[in-house]
Chains A and B, each alone.
Chain A
Amino acid sequence: MLLIRCPYCAVERPEVEFAYAGEAHIARPQDPSALSDEQWKDHLFIRSNPRGTHFERWRHIHGCGRFFNAVRDTVSDKFAMTYKAGLPRPSEAEIGKARS
């Protein structure tokens, strides 16, 4: 069971308090009707699925209830860092720093 740091509670909590919520940084388009079918398909269904660093959303569902973002390694499963929803995608340097 992973330990996950909730950026809102500012504490590490056991994984059972959390729920995974898909890939991060996929904002809903401001005006979906302006998108072509192809663009809308990409928004809806196409995800990155990388080996290694993955940006993803989690929710502290049995805690403060907040959705937040996380950087996790899909090989080791481990979290490098978590950050509040709405913050920009962290840079390689920031992730590296968080890992060390």
Chain B
Amino acid sequence: MLQEYRRLEGSRIAAPDSALAIAMADDCTRFSLRIAEEGIAQAGKAFGVALPKQIGGMTAAGGRLALCLGPDEWQLMAPLDERDALEAAFAALYAKVPHSLVDISHREVGIVVEGRDAALALRSACPLDLDEMAVGSATRTIFDKAQIVLIRQGQDSFRIEVWQSFADHVWGILQAAGREIALEI
């Protein structure tokens, strides 16, 4: 197999005393699933995890993750080697429940932002009220000039999903925010 080009591979942003740790997430399988409401239950079966019905909702099991980003839109995430199986499962569903499943594994990169000041680092360019963002929720939003999907994995743990070519920009701002946090300024 060919050498994959991974943006920002090995890059790290850190502040002392576990205030902040930012790193690129491992590769994974990603699909954008678009399906009408009546198909949600069956799509959940095909995915192996019931799909969240509320925008912002997130469900997870066995390394698979489903984020509801719009009224008929989900981002499905799974381990790398499950790509083909998932594609086949949805293909089997298509005739009965038409939908759109598009591989976006390479469209996005993940940036994991963790630590006591994780939310503070994000607030450098994210206009959302992060105090109001529940653990286990996800939303599309904007980070400076880049559109992102923001996932709150834990109280002090976030993951940004962003299109490849916007990742450098997001990273640059997180770096600046990380410096401020390290300097406590």
> What residues of chain A have their CB less than 8 Å away from a CB belonging to chain B?
1, 8-11, 13-14, 16-17, 62-66
Contact = CB atoms under 8 A, between A and B. Distances in A.
Given A8-B55, A9-B55, A17 B70 contact: no
Interface residues of B, number: 13
B127 A64 contact: no
B142 A64 contact: no
Majority secondary structure of chain A interface residues (helix, strand, loop or mixed): loop
Nearest to A64: B70
Contacts of B116: none
Given A16-B142, A17-B142, A64 B128 contact: no
Contacts of B75: none
Interface string B51-90: 0000110000000000001110100000000000000000
Given A8-B71, A14-B128, A64 B147 contact: no
20 contacts: A8-B55, A8-B70, A9-B55, A10-B55, A11-B56, A13-B128, A13-B141, A14-B128, A16-B127, A16-B142, A17-B127, A17-B142, A62-B141, A62-B142, A63-B139, A64-B69, A64-B70, A64-B140, A65-B73, A65-B140
Interface in B22-71: 55-56, 69-71
A62 B55 contact: no
B141 A65 contact: no
